Amino acid sequence: MASGKKVLLKVIILGDSGVGKTSLMNQYVNKKFSNQYKATIGADFLSKDMVVDDRLVTMQIWDTAGQERFQSLGVAFYRGADCCVLVYDVTMPNTFKTLDSWRDEFLIQASPRDPENLPFVVIGNKIDLENRVVSYKRAQGWCHTKNDIPYFECSAKDNINVEQAFQTVAKQALLQEADVELFPDQFPDRIDLKSNDNKPKSDCAC
């Protein structure tokens, strides 16, 4: 049984419009798939509790909320990400080509402390379709040149490999949190408006 304190992992999911980012999230967290394409509406982030390497973690997967459509993702979206999932559509070569720039964009905007080691996971989606264009070899090759990014080929529709891909995402993200101090001297200074709201302390003396 996992013990110790719960870890929150923030994962962001990037890639061109229509590659199936929301579908992948949805398939992984809600086990649901909708065939009908609609620009992401209502998708914000989804949370999933899981056990990784004997630790209880909550993985938050953040969707682009459609702001990527006109290249209008703000820098705030990238704050504090522990892992970045890059998604392309195996039937659309352009979506593969832009992975490079999405990766760069992430490194620049998220400005991680240690950009060399910030984990990525690449997902080639829609392998259920017959008109595949980008080959496994080509994608795997690209990932290899980028510090051996783990690569998964998935189908959000048929739920192929989705679970495995996100397990890897969680593992990779957890590496970022590995050396969390047990009792930091500065106790929760970051304020979450809802949870830190000072409740009136009961006047009972105990």
Partner 1 sequence: MHGRVKVKTSAEQQEEKRKERQSKLKIFRKVINAFFNKVSKEEYDNDGLEITKQILASNSDYSSMWNYRKKCFANSEKPKSEIEAMLNSELTFIESCLRNNPKSYGCWHQRCFVLLKLKTPDWKRELQLCNLFLQFDDRNFHCWDYRRFVCSHSNHPLKDEIDYTNKLIESNFSNYSSWHYRSKLLPEVYPDSSVGNKIAERKLLEELELVQNAFFTDPNDQSAWFYHKWLLGRGHPMQSILSLHVSRFPSTLTCTLRKPIKEEDCQQALVRVNGTVISGKWKPHSSACYMNTWTFTPHEKIGTGLISVSCQVDGVETQITMEIDDNEALCCAKNTIETFCESSSDAKLLVLEEELNSCRELNELEPDNKWVVLTLVFLMKAIDPIRFFSEMKELLKSLCIIDSKRSCYYQDLHSKYAVENWIICADLQSRKADLRNKGITRLCHVEFLVGLTHLDLSHNKLKALGSTFLVFPWLQELKADDNEITEIDGLKALPSLITLSLNSNALSSVELLSCLSTCPNLQHVSLKSNPVSSCEKDYFKNFPFRLTL
Partner 2 sequence: MDEVLPEEFDVILIGTGLPESVLSGALSRIGKNVLHVDSNEYYGGSWASFNIKTFDKLMSETQMHQEDNSNPVNLEALISEDEEFLLMSASQQNLSNCQSYCYLSKQPDWVVATNVVEPNVVAEPDEVEISDDKDSPVDVATTAPTMVQKHSDTEDLSCRDVDFEERNNSDNDNEKPGVSDKQSGDPAKEKSTDNDSRNGQVDAFNNATSEEKLENASDQSSQADLPHKETPLFPFYEKFYENWRRFNLDLSPKVMFSRGQLVELLIQSNVCRYLEFRNVTRTLTVLSGENRLQPVPCSRADVFKSKFVTVVEKRILMRFLTLCANFEQHPQEYEAYKDRPFQDFLQSKHLSTKVQHFIIHSIAMVSEQTSTMEGLHATQKFLKSLGRYGSSHAFLCPMYGVGELPQAFSRLSAVFGGTFCLRRRVIGIVADKTSRAVKGVIDSTGQKIKCQHLVLDESHLPDICRSGFKREVSRAIYVTDKSVSPSETEEVSLITLPPVGNFPLYRVIEAGPLCCLSPNNYYVVHALTKPSCVDENAIVDLKETFHSAEKTMFAGTAAELEIANNNESDKQKPAVLWAAYFNMMSCGVNNDSLPGNVYVMSSPGFELGFDKAMNEARRTFEIICPDEEFLPRAPEPEEIVFDDEGYKSENNGNSRENPNEQPEAGNGDYMETEEDLQEEEEPDVQGLIDQEQGVGDHVSDGNGDNA
In the complex, the residues that contact partner 1 under the rule CB under 8 A are 1, 3-5, 38, 41-42, 182-183, 187, 205-206
- 180 is an interface residue for partner 2 by CB under 8 A: no
Partner whose footprint covers residue 206, from partner 2, partner 1, none (CB < 5 to 8 Å by kind): partner 1
Please, which of residues 19-78 interact with partner 2 by CB under 8 A? 26, 30, 32, 34-36, 38-39, 41-47, 65-77
Helix, strand or coil, per DSSP, at residue 115: helix
Q: Which is nearer to partner 1, 131 or 186 (CB)?
A: 186
Question: How far is it, in rounded angstroms, from Cα 62 to Cα 75?
Answer: 14
Question: How far is it, in rounded angstroms, from Cα 57 to Cα 3?
Answer: 10
Question: How far is it, in rounded angstroms, from Cα 136 to Cα 126?
Answer: 13
The H or E element that residue 202 is part of is: none
Give me the least distance between CB of 77 and partner 1, in Å please: 19
Tokens representing 151?
């690569």
Question: How far is it, in rounded angstroms, from Cα 75 to Cα 146?
Answer: 23
Binding residues for partner 2, rule: CB under 8 A, are 14, 16, 26, 30, 32, 34-36, 38-39, 41-47, 65-77, 79, 98, 100-102, 104-105, 107-109, 111, 115, 186, 189-194, 196-200
